[in-house]
Chain A
Amino acid sequence: MTMPGCMGGWRWGVAHTLMAIFLVVMALSFLSVIRLELVVNGLLIGLIMAVGAIGLSLVYGILKFANIAQGDFMTLGAYMCLFLLGTLFPRMNIQGTGLGPFTFGYPMLLALPLVMVVLATLAIGLDIGVYRRLRGRGVSTVVLAMTSLGVAIALRGAVQVLWGGETEQYPRLSRQFYQAPMDVRIPPDGIFIGLVTVTLVVALYLFLSRTRMGKAMRATSDNEELARVSGINTERVIWWTWAIGAALAATAGILLAVFQAQLLPIMGWRVLIPLFAAVILGGIGNPFGALVGALIIGVTSEVSTEWLSPSYKPAVAFLLMIATLLVRPTGIFGVKS
Chain B
Amino acid sequence: MSLLAVQGIVAGYGQTEILHGVSIVVEPGEIVAIIGPNGSGKSTLMKSAVGLLRPTGGSVNFRGEDITGVAPENIVRKGLCYVPQSSNVFPSLSIHENLEMGAFVRTDDYRPRITEIYDLFPDLASRRKERASRLSGGQRQMVALARALMLNPVLLLLDEPSAGLAPMMVASVFEKIKGISSTGVAVLMVEQNAREALRLSARGYVLAAGHNRLEGPGRSLLSDPEVARLYLGG
Contact = CB atoms under 8 A, between A and B. Distances in A.
Whether A and B are associated in the same complex: the answer reads yes
Contact of A226 (B77, B90, B97, B105): B90
A232 B84 contact: no
Q: How large is the interface on B (under 10, 10 to 19, 20 to 34, 35 or more residues)?
A: 20 to 34
A225 interface: yes
Nearest to B157: A229
A6 interface: yes
B92 A215 contact: no
A114 B72 CA distance: 36
Contact of B84 (A8, A216, A226): A226
Contacts, number: 77
A261 B126 CA distance: 54
Interface in A218-248: 218-219, 221-223, 225-234
Contact of A215 (B50, B88, B93): B93
B101 A216 contact: yes
A228 B89 CA distance: 12
B77 A231 contact: yes
B73 A219 contact: no
B92 A7 contact: yes
A229 B97 contact: no
Interface residues of A, number: 25
Interface string B58-93: 000000000000011101110001101001111111
A188 interface: no
A226 B89 CA distance: 7
Contacts of A9: 133
B133 to A, nearest CB: 5
Contact of A8 (B71, B81, B82, B131): B131
B171 interface: no
Given A216-B101, A219-B101, A230 B147 contact: yes
Contact of A5 (B50, B76, B92, B151): B92
Contact of A230 (B76, B87, B91, B133): B76
B100 interface: yes
A8 B90 contact: no
A230 B52 contact: no
7 contacts: A215-B100, A219-B97, A227-B101, A228-B72, A229-B50, A229-B75, A231-B151
Interface of A: 4-9, 212, 215-216, 218-219, 221-223, 225-234, 335
